[in-house]
Chain A
């Protein structure tokens, strides 16, 4: 089960309303390398992990990704807050506005809705953990491209925190992979 805490994991700050960055940032909400995909990937794969360590790390990182999803939502919400319809249209978000007003929705930067096809759950723990490590690196790269696109130091502070978490998760998944491989080798009898 899960229990909500009425707080963010990290203070999500924006220096000013910025629809251009909102348009780019939404991909970390509902895009291929975004936080929902990360959370669902790990929380779905955990059931067939062979060791306690791997079950724990997928559960805990999958849960942390939900906290990151909330940070991204907060950033997008704040970046769009108080924008006029004219400003929304000028930023290329007119089609988004027609469907959602300023509400959050699970899409990538081009408006494509989230799909389970972004993730895999192979049942092979070595294959799944390799996917998870790649996913963390792709998310890290996405945050770097977003930081390159942004000139808002407050927003960048939050994005740098999220980028750093991807690096820590990659490290933990690598350790879990090694533990799982050692476990599987110890089970193999010739």
Chain B
């Protein structure tokens, strides 16, 4: 995995972590409107990053379209990557 891909992956991981933190917080603070707005914005940014990453480097999850041949089996898997 080249440096550009590792950098893009790390950016995506960081953005998803932001969304997750708001998600957990909202489970116990469902009426915090500011947190909800930040969560929605974090999710929008994450969707953009995910789409861009997957267009360049292939599917990250179930039901993402694949080029030929079937890209899901491409290595490296997450535990094989030097971060």
Contact = CB atoms under 8 A, between A and B. Distances in A.
A61 B27 CA distance: 11
Contact of A6 (B10, B17, B30, B60): B60
Interface stretch (A24-32, A33-41, A72-80): A72-80
Give the residue among B12, B59, B62, B79 with the most A Cβ atoms within 10 A.
B79
A176 B30 CA distance: 12
A83 interface: no
Interface in B10-49: 10, 12-13, 16-17, 20-21, 23-25, 27-30
B79 A70 contact: yes
Contacts of B81: 8
Given A4-B61, A6-B59, A9-B13, A172 B79 contact: no
Interface in A41-59: 53, 56-57
A53 B61 contact: no
A64 interface: yes
Interface of B: 9-10, 12-13, 16-17, 20-21, 23-25, 27-30, 59-62, 72, 77-79, 81, 83
A53 B30 contact: yes
Contact of B27 (A5, A12, A56, A78): A56
A77 B76 CA distance: 14
A4 B29 CA distance: 27
A5 B61 contact: yes
Interface of A: 3-13, 53, 56-57, 60-61, 64, 70, 73-74, 77-78, 168-169, 172, 175-176, 179
B80 to A, nearest CB: 9
A74 B79 contact: yes
Contacts of A5: 60-61
Given A11-B10, A12-B83, A60-B23, A53 B28 contact: yes
A7 B21 contact: no
